[in-house]
Amino acid sequence: MELKKLNLITILGPTAGGKTGLAAHLALEIDGEILSADSRQVYRKMDIGTGKDLSEYSINGRYVPYHLIDIVDPGYEYNVFEFQKDFIHAFKDIRKRNKLPILCGGSGMYIEAVLDAYKLIRVPVNKDLRENLESKSMDDLRKILFSYKTPHNQTDTESLKRILRAIEIAEFYKNEGEPEVETPDLNYIILGVKNDRETQRKKITERLDYRLKNGMIEEVKDLLESGVDPEKLIFYGLEYKYITWYITGKIDYETMFQNLNTAIHQFGKRQMTWFRKMERHGFKIHWIDGLASMEKKLARAKSIIYSCESS
């Protein structure tokens, strides 16, 4: 399939939905390359917990190139500003080689930052502002943050560290104004992969059980033994947060499993909430049944792409 109109295909969906497999198979069909839109897969040595599933990029002996995976060391705090910059660089490189970029992931803010061309710049730490804010309660900090505007990322309000940084960024933009950012002209289509609620719940729980029994705990132990600060791993959330608590003796295995399982389900719901918000804001998402066979999913994806290419 040769595409002349579209220059970006986006494949999104909640965790454990099957989007990576579809993206890889589609890439082989249309001579594409994958751009990961996952806020944690950027970290090296964080493989099982972030669900990189790199084996999915090899299909019948054919390798699908991917980008924005394993680009920073664990312990670093990667952010949406850096993702936008790295996406633009990789996008231009792929297009220069006459390949088609396929943006694939579940980090809604990262995806929207690219598609909606957020005007982002690197914001320096404001020590005076932080000192003035650190004595305030979380409720007071939320009120301050929302006095600027509704934050792009609702998780900005879930921890002291994140909410202080969000206020810091909002204050910087208030004083310095919105930046000018050179972003590529995108002619894109969005495909979404999702399952019904019960199937999604079952897939999440089964996948968690498998990963815990096949190296995920050892992965976190290796990260801790390599010198990564436990608080850094906790900052990354979900698997790294709860398994770190388990390894350091704060919770037992059963508590870890149950709480982590619940947290991943809640995370999947938040992802779908973000995608529905995108739809309300005018993003057209063409949803594909995650339970369909790969052959049917691929045929459906190609049909949608062809229809948009021809319109």
- Residues 247 and 140 placed together within one structural domain of the fold: no
Considering the chain, what percentage of its residues have pLDDT values greater than 90?
A: 73
Vertex 117: Cα angle to 13 and 181 (nearest 5): 145
| pLDDT value at residue 3 | 82
Where in the sequence is the domain holding 164, given as residue range(s)?
127-176
The pLDDT of residue 155 is 45
CA–CA separation, 75 and 88 (whole Å): 24
160 lies in some domain? yes
82 and 57 in a common domain = yes
Provide the number of structural domains found in the chain. 2
- For residues 74 and 205, membership in a common domain is answered with yes
CATH number of the domain residue 97 falls in: 3.40.50.300
- For all residues of the chain together, what is the average pLDDT? 91
The reply to whether 81 falls in a domain is: yes
Evaluate whether residue 183 is within a structural domain.
no
Phi, psi of 104 (to 5 degrees): -135, 125
User: Is 2 domain-assigned?
Assistant: no
Tokens of 3: 């595409």
Kindly state whether residues 151 and 268 are assigned to the same domain.
no
Largest CA distance in the chain: 59
The string of pLDDT tens digits covering residues 101-137 is: 999 999 999 999 999 877 565 677 888 898 889 889 9
Q: Same domain for 53 and 135?
A: no
Residue 3 lies in a domain: no
pTM (2 d.p.): 0.82
| Sequence-ordered strand ranges (E) for the chain | 8-12, 32-36, 58-59, 62-63, 66-67, 100-105, 188-194, 285-289
Say if residue 161's pLDDT is above 80: no
Q: What is the mean pLDDT of residues 226-230?
A: 96
In a domain, 94, yes or no: yes
